[in-house]
Structure 1
Amino acid sequence: MVTLVDTISNPPKPRHPEKARRPDNPIQRKPDWIRVRAPGSPVFRETHGIVKENGLVTVCEEAGCPNIGECWSKKHATMMIMGDTCTRACAFCNVKTGMPGPLDPAEPDNVAIAVEKLGLSHVVITSVDRDDLADGGAAHFAAVIGAIRARSPKTTIEVLTPDFLRKDGALEVVVAARPDVFNHNLETVPSKYLTVRPGARYFHSIRLLQRVKELDPTIFTKSGIMVGLGEERNEVLQLMDDLRSAEVDFITIGQYLQPTSKHHPIVRFVTPDEFKSYEAVAFAKGFLMASSSPLTRSSHHAGEDFERLRANRAARLAGR
């Protein structure tokens, strides 16, 4: 049993030691439109059990997603492969940073077993950044896709990948495995990269998404950003144009929520009406799908959105 004395003399290690030297940014009280119910339904607990039983990591837990209660109660979970430790230390992210361990060769099969047990019609597979690996983990992504296809051939697969920066040939390996949706998030507007996403390069990410379409035009492409980080509206609109120039099909826009006092501060809470406006503009600019709301996240409602995405493409092709 852990006592108060134990806790004082042996304090737990902080989750983000790499962020310890950053200045404290007080966490603001959330407005009413961002409140969510605490999880705890029987189906939520069943999903939690399947995830733990198979030794899986989910971005739902690691990133502190506010939608975990809703999604897990519907047996929706976003699997995070290649461990729970990222080689980068982005200012917005709640995933811990450090030197990751070796890849688990059993992970592709374990993920596929969980997908089968959950009975998922659509699954999202994401990962930490693995700059320590020669291919950034691309072959592992492909192995997971292959394992799911073998066990659950009717399940559609969405990948949310890192940027594979300076990993020549990595993107091609993932695309060759033919996921149904290739998602890579820009996260924020280019003017905020140095403070929010310093290890990444905005135009590299745009080019990555464009290259997916060049390699396989049938794969849907998707990207998402957070707002409330100090960006200007015109910057968000320009980002939409940049994504459309890369033929990206689907954009998601959600409110940034500060995980701890050591993370980037929330500059402001964007109102629901502003989110609706962004969504309307995105459709006007030619995106097949757009999801924009305070609680929108990359994989929130991913299955339903995929069906709408597929239907919207079919309607557009029929109208030509």
Structure 2
Amino acid sequence: MTSIPPLPGSLRLPHPVLPPWLRRPFGNASEISNVQQIVKQRQIYTICEEGRCPNRGECYSRGTATFLLMGPTCTRACGFCQVDKGRAPESLDPEEPQKVAESVAILGLHYVVLTAVARDDLDDGGASWFVKTMQAIRQHCPQTQIEVLTPDFWGGRDAVQQQRDRVRTLVKARPACYNHNLETVRRLQGPVRRGAKYERSLEVLRLVRACDPSVPTKSGLMLGLGETEAEVLDALHDLRSVGCDRLTLGQYLRPSLAHLPVQKYWTPEEFDRLGSLAREQGFTHVRSGPLVRSSYHAGEVD
């Protein structure tokens, strides 16, 4: 696993004890086992499993899952993420869109989130692969709504134009929601998100609204990496300035000792306060809580 540099001074901090509000079962075992079996048989992936999401049993039982496209290896090395890092396979599995669509049908999912590892090695960053998978799902399950959670699609010589073209490709496919996570506040972008930039991520969301204002946009932040409340509120203001109208706020949990350490466990009351402040800023769909993740209750709109 790629070595992740610590945030300044973080090695001198004692590792915080996991608070009681984060100690909860991982969900319905039978629901988890059923999905695990189906995705394993088809050699596909879900971020629910790869990221060991604590809500996966609940989401499965609600008819929601998040599929991880283009393999389980990311070409970037973010300091918070549990997904494997390294050199991605040169070719994609040509059957993956069909396999995902079949899994959606078998599981009877009414809302699907499609995300992906960053594939900076691909000519279009994987944008067309999202579209192919969306088309396959719609052929099998025309009533299933599809949200996309994309990387920033940055890369190549003409990076600005490429990002625009790739985002437009996705928007034209008419997702139910376009999600791109800011992940953390401006000050912490460098150590937390390798290869990503704060303004670049805001531009993704701005481009979506410019291409088609009817497509809802969404973003999320992890808390606990050393940010202040004022910095979080500044980030929310920046998201609203580019038209982002849906938001998730959740607690960062350290996947391993090779990842960035937790600087603080925000309390449920603090999450409630931030959720209220986000609604005051104009976000129409807010999920804010210690165990909230990007796709948590994704199919439910306030």
Q: In structure 2, which of residues 114, 118, 140 is the aligned counterpart of residue 151 of structure 1? A: 140
Q: Which residue of 2 aligns with 1:116?
A: 105
2:185 maps to a residue whose letter is V
**Partner SS for 1:19:** coil
Q: In structure 2, which of residues 109, 121, 141 is the aligned counterpart of residue 132 of structure 1? A: 121
Deviations 1:27-70 (A, max 9, x none): 54310001121445323322222222222101011112122232
Counterparts of residues 173-184 of structure 1 (less than 5 Å): 173-184=169-180
Q: In structure 2, which of residues 156, 159, 167 is the aligned counterpart of residue 171 of structure 1? A: 167
1:31 aligns with 2:15: no
Deviations 1:276-316 (A, max 9, x none): 0000001101111111000000011112x24x3xxxxxxxx
Determine if contact 2:26/2:55 at 8 Å carries over to the other structure. no
Deviations 1:144-195 (A, max 9, x none): 1111111111111000000001351111111111111000000000100111
Q: Which residue of 2 aligns with 1:242?
A: 238
**Partner SS for 1:222:** strand
1:60 aligns with 2:61: no
**Partner SS for 2:64:** coil
Q: Which residue of 2 aligns with 1:85?
A: 73
CA distance in 1, matches of 2:236, 2:118: 24
Determine if contact 2:4/2:260 at 8 Å carries over to the other structure. no
Q: Aligned pair count?
A: 290
CA distance in 2, matches of 1:302, 1:84: 22
**Partner SS for 1:247:** coil
Give the share of equivalent positions with the same residue, in percent. 45
CA distance in 2, matches of 1:38, 1:206: 33
Q: Which residue of 2 aligns with 1:19?
A: 3
Determine if contact 1:26/1:261 at 8 Å carries over to the other structure. no
CA drift of 1:141 comes to: 0.6
**Partner SS for 2:183:** coil
Determine if contact 2:98/2:133 at 8 Å carries over to the other structure. yes
Please list every run of 5 or more consecutive structure 2 residues that lacks an aligned counterpart in the other structure: none
**Partner SS for 2:98:** helix
Q: Which residue of 1 aligns with 2:280?
A: 284
Determine if contact 2:22/2:290 at 8 Å carries over to the other structure. yes
Please list every run of 5 or more consecutive structure 1 residues that lacks an aligned counterpart in the other structure: 1-15, 309-320
Computed over aligned residues only, the root mean square deviation of the Cα atoms, in angstroms, reads: 1.7
Counterparts of residues 165-244 of structure 1 (less than 5 Å): 165-166=154-155, 167=159, 168=162, 169-244=165-240
2:48 maps to a residue whose letter is C
CA distance in 2, matches of 1:20, 1:289: 33
Determine if contact 1:71/1:300 at 8 Å carries over to the other structure. yes
CA distance in 2, matches of 1:40, 1:27: 30
The ranges of structure 1 where at least 4 consecutive aligned residues each deviate by more than 4 angstroms after the TM superposition are 20-27
CA drift of 1:26 comes to: 7.0
Determine if contact 1:76/1:120 at 8 Å carries over to the other structure. yes
Determine if contact 1:47/1:75 at 8 Å carries over to the other structure. no
